[in-house]
Structure 1
Amino acid sequence: MKRIIYKLSLAAVLISMIVTSCTKDFEEINTNPNNSPEALPQQLLPPALISTMGYLQLRNRNFNNELMQVTVDASDAEGKVFRYDFRSNWADYLYNGLYSELTNIKDVYKNAHEKDSMTYKGISLICQSWMYSILSDTYGDVPYSQSNLAKEQGIFEPVFDSQKEIYLDIFEKLEEANTILSSGAPTLVMTSADPIYAGNPALWRKFGNSLYLRLLLRVAHKSDVSAEVIAKIQDMLGASASKYPLINSVAESAVLKWTGEGALVSPLMSVRAQDYSSPAIAEFFIKNLVSWNDPRIDIPTWGGGTANRWRIAPSQGAYVGVPSGYAPGENPVKRSYFYSTTSALTLMNDAMTGLIFPYAEIRFIKAELMVKGIITGNAGTEYLNGVNAGIQYWLPAWPTANTTTYLTDADIQWDDAYTEEQKMAMVHLQKYYALFLVDMQQWFEYRRTGLPVLPKGAGLRNGGVMPARMTYPVYVQSTNPTNYKLAVAAQGPDVISTQVWWQKP
């Protein structure tokens, strides 16, 4: 018995020694000194950008394009977007998606070390500004200053900041990003960790400033900020132009290219082929292109192997669209549609559909500012260059000299004798086509300007008025009731007809 007790005691001592040995300095021994305990910016940025573009491109396809008469998802069913009629659950997808990715984009900033990752900080600020601007332009007042702080600060019911406050803070973020990216600090941005500009801080800086200009123009008419905003625009495009470089060529456009390699597969490939080709091309969208003999669709006049880059299917040798907003029961016949064959080049697998900010937009912004007398210059030249850039994005081999002929033949050339209203209509009709596939910018610009002039069908709901916003997701009413009610009290009823701040007189 004594021998058994002795053996058990010895075993207990040995086990104790082993356990002590295993747990002593466990964290130090089992931590790889070559790895960071936090996700690194280069690990966070690519998937966040790819996922964000997925949300934006799919909502562009089935929401923006339906509202803005690019396509018509023809049906007499309830809740058809092309009739300005959509259910409240449409709000969830974009809201949930962008806020979830904002956590990762903010972590890019937080986890970038001051001494060697300043470029990542600048990139994060630009991406935050881009994503928050889309959220605010879609919904109006949204969580901003307290958003995405549940883990860090335990804020599960964030306040809704006013759109004015959001815009003003975005301007500060973009100023900071411009300063950071012009500082000459070490970049250390891996080429493979940046699917937009391959780690080039100069190009990110140009994108940030171009975004800044887009958003400044969006609120330049608001009397409570117009003086400051217009002065800033004039400074950016005048005395301080060298301090605020902008996207300056088609090649510098902000694009997430869907190479088809690894994770870089277009989100449009997730749509079933029969569903992708199901919506008809809208009459407004295709009729202009046909009347202009536009090279972006298959018009033999211009020739070349890259014709019909937008891959629109003809019907009996012609391009024919469906009138948007038609009344239930009219049932127009579907003719042209976007090809969905994935074995050949279509918009489903085209690398260039991940468009975030086209160079053409800069030229059209300048044209508008010149027409309004906010800056000096030749608006006709900017208009010409904008049209040219819009075509060359899709047809890189398109000769610039062809654009003058194209505009003249289509009878859409610039005339300085036109009224301001006529000039604005010309600029924004061409800008509409330049913004094709760019998240919901066509919709935002229409809400700002009322242009281009869209035909109104007899079947439109919402009093025939373009929806001014998406409603908040329904679940927000129960998960954040106090701040939801405060937001509604400040902004107006949570309906699609309530205008956001920059739309209100």
Structure 2
Amino acid sequence: MAIKLNKILVLITACILVTSCKSGFEEMNTDPNKSSAALPEALLTSSLWDVVSRNNTRALRLTNELMQVHVTTSDGDEIHRYVVRPGESDYMWNNWYLQLTNFRDMYQRAKDLNRTTHMAMALISDVYVSSLITDTFGDVPYSESNKGREGSYQPKFDTQQSIYLDLFRKLEEANTLLTTGSVLTAEQIAYDPLYGRNIPSSVATATASTMVINSWRKFGNSLYLRLLLRASGRPESNAAAKISEIVDTKASTYPIFTTNDESAVLKYTMTVPFTSPFNTYRVFDFNGDNGLSEFFINTLNEWNDPRRPFWANLSGGTYIGIPSGYVRGNVPDRQSTYTTNLMNAPLLGNIMNYAELQFILAEAAVKGYIAGDAKAYYERGVNNAITFWSATVPSDYLNNTFLAWNSADDEFYKLEKIHKQKYYTLFFTDFQQWFEYRRTGHPVLPKGAGLQNGGVMPSRFKYPVYVQSLNSTNYTAAVAAFGADDMNTKMWWNK
């Protein structure tokens, strides 16, 4: 299964270089990367690394501050006070759409070559990125997007409902394709950034190919459950019935994660091309003026959580957080900060893991969507969230008053318990903490006296300013249908 290192590094580096960010909508939509001529596996490697790495930097800058993982001690930075400036949108919009072009080119190229496995990988990656775009902005270009080479520079905005329904369709197609996926060569396996490159070279190629195909199939169906649960509050989505079908009535048709090892993680290394986006940061660049929050640290202290030394530095011999949303002028002194080991931590490349899936199933069980035992799902999630980080679960951990499952609790308290655990499972996982908080209101976060925006968590990010001028007709139509282009307009799935 070995592949010549120079060949793979040159190809991957070339792919990364030709997918650089463009500043305008038309340029972004017609990125001159000539990716239609690239092999599907090369497009997958570079594009998925780019998406995950850029998501990590936005988690550090935006998600972790909005969701009280850390708090800035720079008084002028007000993200923790729910002030998100419109300029923040450009970076995500540009790069997500750029890589979405590559995933769609990958699908078409794989189809031309009759590589059904790579077609499915492209579809799952497309769904992953498309869901990030719509869950961040709402109604967005989708069915007409990424068609610059066809002369389409002003795509219409699709409704989030229609986007979600098509994401479900794509995941169905991916699952079907992978039931009899095309066999992968040793070289193609080595290019797979999620599963293939972690398989020992001693494993026979045919066996390794089956392992990769099965892992991607489980990833696609687990991602399907994430998105179905997000849409489950809307009856027209038929999401609750589909969750039941996947988990209960047709489980053999829809395999999902069964262990931590099957989690979708782009594991960073200290060697190019799979280095962490923080690999070249100075320690100050990574921690900046950030101190871990009271909510983040106090909860871990209540649990006596074994993940603390992986994530947080001691301050004066203990773990101490600082308040989020503090009043301007009342800047607290930093206490515990991120460990420097996180800058190159392999698991920071998490896309979706087994513990998250268990918490999805726990919520589905609480709400009656599936027949399983919510307590069992919850406890598997708790245990695997810890062992995911190679920490040891204390023998009495689940007996902790703050952690123990109580079947007599009402739905609110059960969901609070599930989502507080899920919050930590989604540590540095793009915008998922924020998406889930907007959907559920869990975990309950403290409200600082200095919060702006009426003390209400932003529901979305505004569209990039240049979209208003370069695609004004469709932008205007979208705003008329979706709602005002401000931070407080809700998504279809939580209206």
Question: The TM-score by the shorter chain falls in which range?
Answer: 0.7 to 0.9
Q: In structure 2, give the amino acid aligned to 1:252.
A: E
CA separation in 1, counterparts of 2:72 and 2:325?
10
Q: Residue 115 of structure 1: CA displacement?
A: 5.7
Q: In structure 2, give the amino acid aligned to 1:208.
A: G
Task: Report what 1:129 is aligned to.
Answer: 127
SS of structure 1 residue aligned to 2:279: helix
Task: Report what 2:426 is aligned to.
Answer: 435
Which is worse superposed, 372-381 or 36-45?
36-45
Decide which of 202, 215, 231 is 1:219's aligned counterpart.
231
- Contact 1:203–1:252 (CA<8 Å) still a contact in 2? yes
1:76-155 counterparts in 2 under 5 A? 76-77=75-76, 79-113=77-111, 116-151=114-149, 153-155=150-152
Task: Report what 2:400 is aligned to.
Answer: 409
Per-residue Cα deviation, 1:419-453 (whole angstroms, up to 9, x for no partner): 11111111111111111111110000000000000
Task: Report what 1:423 is aligned to.
Answer: 414
Unaligned 5+ runs, structure 1? 1-35, 298-307, 341-345
Q: In structure 2, give the amino acid aligned to 1:74.
A: T
Q: In structure 2, give the amino acid aligned to 1:232.
A: K
Task: Report what 1:377 is aligned to.
Answer: 372
Task: Report what 2:278 is aligned to.
Answer: 268
Task: Report what 1:6 is aligned to.
Answer: none
Task: Report what 2:297 is aligned to.
Answer: 286
CA separation in 2, counterparts of 1:417 and 1:354?
37
- Contact 2:194–2:264 (CA<8 Å) still a contact in 1? yes
Per-residue Cα deviation, 1:123-174 (whole angstroms, up to 9, x for no partner): 00000000000100000011100111011x1100111100000000000000
Task: Report what 2:28 is aligned to.
Answer: none
Q: Residue 229 of structure 1: CA displacement?
A: 1.6
SS of structure 2 residue aligned to 1:145: coil
CA separation in 1, counterparts of 2:110 and 2:253?
25
Identity of aligned residues (%): 46
- Contact 1:291–1:410 (CA<8 Å) still a contact in 2? no
1:309 aligns with 2:304: no
1:161-200 counterparts in 2 under 5 A? 161-188=158-185, 190-198=188-196, 200=212
SS of structure 2 residue aligned to 1:72: strand
Per-residue Cα deviation, 1:308-357 (whole angstroms, up to 9, x for no partner): 122x11111111111110111111111110133xxxxx100111110000
Q: Residue 410 of structure 1: CA displacement?
A: 5.0
- Contact 1:108–1:124 (CA<8 Å) still a contact in 2? yes
What do you get for the CA RMSD once the two structures are aligned?
1.5
Per-residue Cα deviation, 1:229-255 (whole angstroms, up to 9, x for no partner): 211111111110000000110010000
Decide which of 307, 322, 329 is 1:296's aligned counterpart.
307
Q: Residue 54 of structure 1: CA displacement?
A: 1.7
1:500 aligns with 2:491: yes
CA separation in 1, counterparts of 2:442 and 2:402?
19
Unaligned 5+ runs, structure 2? 1-34, 197-208
Per-residue Cα deviation, 1:77-98 (whole angstroms, up to 9, x for no partner): 1x52111002110001111011
- Contact 2:97–2:146 (CA<8 Å) still a contact in 1? yes
Q: 1:411 to 1:494 in 2, by over 3 A?
A: closer
Which structure has greater helix proportion? 2
Decide which of 436, 451, 463 is 1:445's aligned counterpart.
436
Q: In structure 2, give the amino acid aligned to 1:350.
A: A
CA separation in 2, counterparts of 1:497 and 1:256?
33
Q: Residue 184 of structure 1: CA displacement?
A: 4.1
Q: In structure 2, give the amino acid aligned to 1:210.
A: S
SS of structure 1 residue aligned to 2:351: strand
CA separation in 2, counterparts of 1:348 and 1:80?
24
- Contact 1:72–1:324 (CA<8 Å) still a contact in 2? yes
Q: In structure 2, give the amino acid aligned to 1:96.
A: N
CA separation in 2, counterparts of 1:37 and 1:105?
10
Q: 1:156 to 1:458 in 2, by over 3 A?
A: same
Task: Report what 2:18 is aligned to.
Answer: none
Q: In structure 2, give the amino acid aligned to 1:167.
A: Y
CA separation in 1, counterparts of 2:314 and 2:465?
41
- Contact 2:359–2:418 (CA<8 Å) still a contact in 1? yes
When Rg is computed on C-alpha atoms for both structures, the one with the higher figure is: 1
CA separation in 1, counterparts of 2:400 and 2:444?
22
TM-score, normalization: structure 2? 0.87
CA separation in 2, counterparts of 1:75 and 1:351?
29
SS of structure 2 residue aligned to 1:356: strand
SS of structure 2 residue aligned to 1:268: coil
1:5-16 counterparts in 2 under 5 A? none
CA separation in 1, counterparts of 2:36 and 2:153?
25
Q: Residue 62 of structure 1: CA displacement?
A: 0.8
Q: Residue 116 of structure 1: CA displacement?
A: 4.5
- Contact 2:233–2:494 (CA<8 Å) still a contact in 1? no
Which is worse superposed, 408-417 or 54-63?
408-417
SS of structure 1 residue aligned to 2:388: helix
Q: Residue 38 of structure 1: CA displacement?
A: 1.4
Per-residue Cα deviation, 1:252-277 (whole angstroms, up to 9, x for no partner): 00000112222111012243321212
Task: Report what 2:60 is aligned to.
Answer: 61
CA separation in 1, counterparts of 2:472 and 2:181?
46
Q: Residue 114 of structure 1: CA displacement?
A: 5.0
- Contact 1:247–1:253 (CA<8 Å) still a contact in 2? yes
Q: Residue 110 of structure 1: CA displacement?
A: 1.1
Task: Report what 2:334 is aligned to.
Answer: 334
CA separation in 1, counterparts of 2:401 and 2:236?
41
Decide which of 149, 154, 158 is 1:157's aligned counterpart.
154
CA separation in 1, counterparts of 2:111 and 2:135?
32
Q: Residue 183 of structure 1: CA displacement?
A: 1.7
Task: Report what 1:10 is aligned to.
Answer: none
- Contact 1:56–1:439 (CA<8 Å) still a contact in 2? yes
TM-score, normalization: structure 1? 0.86
Decide which of 469, 472, 488 is 2:479's aligned counterpart.
488
Per-residue Cα deviation, 1:207-229 (whole angstroms, up to 9, x for no partner): 0000101100001111332xx22
Flag as ranges the 4+ runs of structure 1 deviating above 4 A: 113-116
CA separation in 2, counterparts of 1:212 and 1:292?
31
Task: Report what 2:47 is aligned to.
Answer: 48
Q: In structure 1, give the amino acid aligned to 2:316.
A: Q
